[in-house]
Amino acid sequence: MDEHSEQQQYDVVVVGSGGGALTGAALAARAGLSVVVVEKTALLGGTSAYSGGACWLPGSQVQQRAGLPDSTEGARAYLSAILDDPTGPATAAKLDAFLTHAPELVAALEDDPDLDFEWLPFPEYYDAPGRVPMGRSIQPVSIKRDALPAPVAELVRPPVELDRAGAPGRRTLTGGQALIARLAVVALREGAHVLTRHTMTELLVEDDRAVGVHCTTPDGAPVELLARRGVLIAAGGFEGNAALRARHDVPGEVAWSMAPRGTNLGEPMTAAVELSAATDFSALGWFCPGLEQPDGGGSFTLGFRSGVMLDAAGSRYANESLPYDRFGRAMAAHPGAIPSWFVFDSREGGRLPGIAMPEGDPAEHLAAGTWVQSDTLAGLASATGLPAAALEASVRRYNGFCATGVDEDFGRGADEYDTFFTGGEGPNKALTPVDVPPYYAARFVLSDLGTKGGLLTDDAGRVLREDGSSIAGLYAASNSTASMFGSVYPGPGAPLGSAMVFASLAVRDMLSSPGAAGVA
């Protein structure tokens, strides 16, 4: 790894090391450009390394190999049906670029001996025209750590449950770690430099053009990295920055967010704004229910197999089996839902009947009061402070729905997503009763997988000014940008898929642009 403090010159400076950033770095390096990746932490991958590695990249050769009824036009129909404003000026051109380029990107990546993908059966998040049964997401093929070059094996951020406990990663890298590892292998193989522990703080500007970045090292040493072709900002959102969250009305809290601790404070976005970049801060994140942890953190939770989520009045307020972002938005919109209490029973031996990353130790939860336990529902009510009559009525009514197989209040189990994670034996697999004492309640907050608002970019990933012109030399992708999907999370892998496509388009644009005269 380079650790020089003098000025260095490259064709491309990539800020961040998530899935979008490393896609850009790998493709640029493979195209013969000199590349540096700037990462503020000691590890590569950010939230992308925590992820499942699902990539929503429709219409590619991977879906074709799997024999799926997927196509670019099917994906277009699906997005047209679900997006807030698919034909609006902010979305239409990007939508087209995304759909057109996704299969090209997958083909280009799979052209590389170190990059392989496979279909990931995981239902899309809306029942809408164009939806593919069991989804159209793809994921990188897992890889053994000992098959990786040493720098990559050492640098990939471990899965969230290990990373938050300070533990190293596993011997086999799956999901997001496989994505980060494979992209890093390509980038390094093609000569890209990686500067970890370098925080980008400012953009270097000449004649209104971004010509590089200013970074600092942990000991405060300044480093200037010049970019002949362009700077690609793909450095997460601002989920880790309480002041920016408050300024842009993003519900939830830093501690409940899933980004690695201390990362994604939004410095690169702020630097671009100082250079007159336009933004759209949507007050949104990629939301999810967050199991509150004894240390005050939140854990991304999905796939509830039983149990009910109750608000402060002791009432259900949404289908608990909704795709997590839709449940999160319901939580954010419903008064008295933060925090909520998730009431479940002992049928899974006192473990949460859902997938929480990380779940934590039930005994520690009980000791900390983030979970409570009682032999009776009335006891649960007094331990949580919820009104006993309402809590008992909610559970009784839900158990009645479990018997008939129809959730008359919220339609739980009516969609294929609802039953993807469940194995219930009643008439509706998503409706398993709460009737095995002792009972538990776990406190839930609103978590997110990153914020969704940020820099406005065009269909080539160029950062725009308010007047619609692009800032020469400046590109952005990932959660550093305003999501093309608006308020919607179309399906598994939408954050990574869109980040990868626009990072790739940015590199394509850099390759066709003349570059900066001043640093040529």
Ligand X SMILES: Cc1cc2nc3c(=O)[nH]c(=O)nc-3n(C[C@H](O)[C@H](O)[C@H](O)COP(=O)(O)OP(=O)(O)OC[C@H]3O[C@@H](n4cnc5c(N)ncnc54)[C@H](O)[C@@H]3O)c2cc1C
Listed ranges 16-24, 83-91, 99-107, 512-520: which one lies at the site for ligand X (CB under 6 A): 16-24
Distance CA 520, CA 517 (A): 5
Residue 452 interacts with ligand X (CB under 6 A)?
A: no
Which of 11, 39, 190, 320: binder of ligand X (CB under 6 A)? 39
Least CB distance from residue 498 to ligand X, whole Å? 8
Total of chain residues touching ligand X, rule CB under 6 A: 44
Could you give the 3-state DSSP secondary structure of residue 374?
strand
CB of 497 to ligand X, least distance (A): 6
> Among candidates 30, 27, 39, 36, which has minimal Cα distance to 7?
36
Residue given tokens 């277009």 in the structure block: 76
Cis link prior to 358 (omega < 30° from 0)?
yes
Given 24, 53, 212, 515, the residue binding ligand X (CB under 6 A): 53
Indicate whether 259 belongs to the interface with ligand X (CB under 6 A). yes
- Interface with ligand X in residues 191-230 (CB under 6 A): 199-200
Q: Kindly state the smallest distance separating residue 107's Cβ from ligand X, in Å.
A: 20
What distance, in Å, lies between the first and last C-alpha atoms of the chain?
A: 24
Q: Decide: is 257 part of the binding site for ligand X (CB under 6 A).
A: no
Nearer CB in complex with ligand X: 53/74 = 53
Choosing from 277, 449, 463, 516, the residue that interacts with ligand X (CB under 6 A) is 449
Distances (CA, A) of 25 to 19, 142, 513: 10, 21, 17
> What H or E segment, with its residue span, contains residue 72?
helix 72-82
Q: Is 450 in the site for ligand X (CB under 6 A)?
A: yes
Pick the stretch among 15-23, 61-69, 289-297, 463-471 that binds ligand X (CB under 6 A).
15-23
The yes or no reply on residue 34 touching ligand X (CB under 6 A) is no
Integer Cα distance of 464 and 458 in angstroms: 7
CB of 231 to ligand X, least distance (A): 11
* CB distance 321 to 412 below 8 Å: yes
Task: Tell me the H-state helices in 376-479.
Answer: 377-384, 388-404
Closest by Cα among 438, 246, 253 to 349: 438
> Is 17 or 315 the residue whose CB approaches ligand X more closely?
17
The answer to whether 264 and 46 are in contact (CB under 8 A) is yes
Least spacing, CB of residue 249 vs ligand X, in Å: 19
Binding-site member from 267, 292, 407, 458 for ligand X (CB under 6 A): 267
Question: Judged by CB, which is closer to ligand X: 234, or 402?
Answer: 234
Distance CA 440, CA 321 (A): 19
Written as one string, the DSSP assignment of 348-359 is TTTS-SSEEET-
Stretch that binds ligand X, among 18-26, 87-95, 106-114, 419-427 (CB under 6 A): 18-26
Question: Which two three-digit tokens encode residue 68?
Answer: 């799926």
Binding mask 120-139 for ligand X (x = CB under 6 A): --------------------
What phi and psi values does residue 490 have, to the nearest 5 degrees?
A: -65, -40
- CB contact at 8 A, 246 and 254: no
Rounded Cα gap, residues 205 and 39, in angstroms: 21
Region of residue 57 (phi > 0: left; psi between -120 and 50: alpha; otherwise: beta): beta
Q: Minimum Å distance from CB 255 to ligand X?
A: 14
Q: Which of 24, 492, 504, 509 binds ligand X (CB under 6 A)?
A: 492
Give dist(CA 259, CA 300) in Å, integer.
11
* Helix count and strand count (H, E) for the chain: 15, 21
Taking CB under 6 A as the criterion, the residue among 12, 13, 14, 15 binding ligand X is 15
Q: How far is the CB of 397 from ligand X (least distance, A)?
A: 32
Distance of alpha carbon 95 from alpha carbon 494, whole angstroms: 12
Segment contacting ligand X by CB under 6 A, of 59-67, 141-149, 245-253, 495-503: 495-503
DSSP secondary structure, 381-410, as one string: HHHHT--HHHHHHHHHHHHHHHHHT--TTT
Q: At its nearest, how many Å lie between ligand X and the CB of residue 239?
A: 8
Q: Give which of 162, 145, 121 is closest to 357, Cα–Cα.
A: 162
Smallest gap from residue 261 Cβ to ligand X (A) = 10
Nearer to ligand X, 19 or 103 (CB): 19
Per-residue binder mask for ligand X (CB under 6 A), 383-422, x = binder: ----------------------------------------
By beta-carbon proximity to ligand X, the closer residue of 236 and 251 is 236
Q: Which of the stretches 84-92, 181-189, 409-417, 491-499 binds ligand X when contact is defined by CB under 6 A?
A: 491-499
CB 193 within 8 Å of CB 10? yes
Which of 11, 12, 52, 381 is in the footprint of ligand X by CB under 6 A? 52
Give the Cα separation of 498 and 223 in Å (integer): 30
Question: What does the per-residue mask of binding to ligand X show for 141-160, with x meaning CB under 6 A?
Answer: -------------------x
Q: Pick from 14, 36, 54, 232 the residue near ligand X by CB under 6 A.
A: 54
Binding site for ligand X (CB under 6 A): 15-21, 38-41, 46-48, 50-54, 160, 199-200, 234-236, 258-259, 263-264, 267-268, 286, 300, 357, 449-450, 478-479, 492-496, 499
